Amino acid sequence: MKKAITTLFIFFSCYFSFSQSFNDNYAPIRDYRPDKEFLKSVSSDFDSTRIAQIYPGRGQKKEVKSAFRESKKELLSLDTAKLLMRNDTITKYLQSLVNKIQQKNPLLNKRNFTVFTYRTDEPNAANWGAGVILVNLDLVSKYTHEEEMISTLCHEISHDLKEHVVNSLEESYAITHSEEFKKEWKKMKHSQYNQFKQYEALVTKFLKKDSKSSRVKELEADSLGLVLFYNAGYHAFYAFQEMEKLDSVDNPAYNNKIDYFKVFNFPSYPFKNSWLEEEAEEETIGGGNVSTKWPDSLKTHPDCKNRLTALKRIAKRQNYNPAKPTGINSTYNYYRVKAFFEILEYNMLEYNSGEALYDALELIGMYPNNTYVKCSIVNCLYQIYNGKATHYTSFMIDMPDKKLAKNYNQLLVFLQNVNSDIIKEIMVNYYKANVEGKINDNYSGYIDALISSIYMEQKEREKLIDLYKKKYNDSYYISLLNRKFKPKKK
């Protein structure tokens, strides 16, 4: 009965969260971190798994135990860094999907699976052992159907069932402690020439053995995951589609051309075409020089084409219907869009300013009246302006690169072409046209303070914190203003 009530609570909390409209504004998730007691309970599961394992030798036992201790520490460090999500609508939704998979598969009875959302713009999902699954925020934004995410979750659950984490640790230990490895390592250490090249060759040789084993594990998880997916009542078509998505998941979720003249052209400060032109004579952004095809070695999920072929072969053998089902589940799109906004929030907080501005410009094209995005554009420009003025731009903005997606690369060209004075003019003009006197909330008050600060001496800026407290008193933005405007204690 208690489990049924919990399931209903998750369902209704997810359902009523749909009341938030993305057209006019967005309220970022603030209270998302796991409860300390819950995190402590999950951490103890790592200890239980570590103790329960049977090891063939003392050295291997020590190695595996150490690895599980490190996993536990890393999970706690992610929480300390405020990158671990649990008490939020996105993670509750993902957990409800795992619960559904579990209910439909008797094989998963009496097992505990805990989902966390990892706040990062790297698209991935991972099983950490001990029933812990991390789904990266960026991956949520890359899928378009709930079934694709469920297929991924089935895959990660399968890794846990097969105990692949422990197996991988044991195999890595066996490789690096084999007589063959020790012999070649000793030979390399006593060599007088090209030790670095010999080391690279040695590591590459033995990594091939490890990667071959990893590919086998991926195929095993794909195979069992497909069975779990089908048992949960889903069509094989979406498992195939998920694998196709994974092959290109490293590309940006957005593919819309940014209209810089529409966003940044002002009567008092016209936008210039020259700001978008790449300096190299032979290659220009306008000429379409940017390749969006990533080499397989750089992908988060390599070998997807081979895995898809194997998946279809398994589905055929199991007589799973490969046809696309009729009807569309629209639930997932809400969480996907929410992930777009949360990635923007993450990138701004982490000072990934080029990526954040790209997110904001894409979102303003989708939601032109969204006040949160308008304020975020000013916020990003402020970060970039400060970065250029203090010569920290290289830490905040990527360099243009042919391997990057065309639209993002064009933004990077623009940001490299303009100096701090141009960014300042664009920022102030955009603020006056879209934020000043038009928006009145906690975030816009924070933006007002940022713009006011550029006309003040450093010692005067601390007054802005008190002014903000009197009018809005939002603890989150007060903490950001303190970080920016209060002098650091020596």
pLDDT tens by residue, 393-418: 888 898 988 778 889 999 999 999 99
Tell me: pLDDT of 213 over 60. no
Which of 69-83, 127-141, 393-407, 429-443 has the highest mean predicted lDDT (pLDDT)? Answer: 429-443
Q: How far apart are CA 412 and CA 212, in angstroms?
A: 38
pLDDT at 104: 95
Task: Tell me, yes or no, whether 342 lies in a domain.
Answer: no
Angle at 294 between CA 259 and CA 237, to 5 degrees: 90
Residue 340 is assigned to a structural domain of this protein:
no
Q: How many domains does the chain have?
A: 2
Tokens representing 122 are 């790297």
Instruction: Give percent of the chain with pLDDT exceeding 90.
Output: 55
Confidence bin at 489 (pLDDT 50/70/90): low
Are residues 394 and 377 part of one domain? yes
My answer on whether 29 and 93 are in the same domain is: yes
> What is the reported pLDDT for 15?
40
361 plus 377 within the same structural domain? yes
What is the residue-averaged pLDDT of the chain?
83
User: In whole angstroms, what separates CA 147 from the centre of its chain?
Assistant: 19
Q: Are 414 and 429 part of one and the same domain?
A: yes
**What is the percent of the chain with per-residue pLDDT over 70, rounded to a whole number?**
77
73, pLDDT greater than 90: no
Residue 357 lies in a domain: yes
Lowest-pLDDT choice from 3-12, 152-161, 170-179, 389-398: 3-12
- In a shared domain, residues 271 and 229: no
Same domain for 363 and 472, yes or no, is yes
Distance of CA 326 to the CA centre of its chain: 31
What predicted TM-score, i.e. pTM, was given to this entire model?
0.83
Q: Measured between alpha carbons, how far is 138 from 157 in angstroms, rounded to an integer?
A: 20
The answer on 62 and 26 residing in a single domain is yes
Q: 324 in a domain, yes or no? A: no
pLDDT category at 287 given cuts 50, 70, 90 is very low
In a domain, 186, yes or no: yes
Strands in 114-118's sheet, in edge-to-edge order, are 84-85, 114-118, 132-136, 125-129
Confidence of residue 4 (pLDDT cuts 50, 70, 90): very low
Q: Tell me, yes or no, whether 198 and 283 share the same domain.
A: no
The per-residue pLDDT for 486 is 85
Q: Is residue 212 part of a domain?
A: yes
pLDDT of residue 421: 96
DSSP 84: E
What average pLDDT does range 259-286 have in this prediction?
A: 82
* Same domain membership, residue 443 and residue 472: yes
On whether both 372 and 435 belong to a single domain, the answer is yes
Domain of residue 432, residue span = 260-291+351-485
Which SS3 state, helix, strand or coil, does residue 126 take? strand
pLDDT at res. 61: 66
Instruction: Out of 34-48, 71-85, 174-188, 452-466, pick the least confident.
Output: 174-188
**Average pLDDT of span 364-370:** 97
- Does residue 339 lie in a domain region? no
Determine, yes or no, domain membership for 335.
no
pLDDT band at 299 (very low <50, low <70, confident <90, very high): low
SS3 content of the chain, % helix, strand, coil (to 5): 65, 5, 30
Q: Which is higher by pLDDT, 49 or 362?
A: 362
Task: State whether 214 and 187 are in the same domain.
Answer: yes
- Residue 391 pLDDT: 83
C-alpha–C-alpha distance, residues 117 and 442, integer Å: 26
Same domain, 19 and 138: yes
Using pLDDT thresholds of 50, 70 and 90, give the confidence band for residue 10.
very low
Q: What is the pLDDT of residue 280?
A: 56
**Residue 298, pLDDT score:** 46
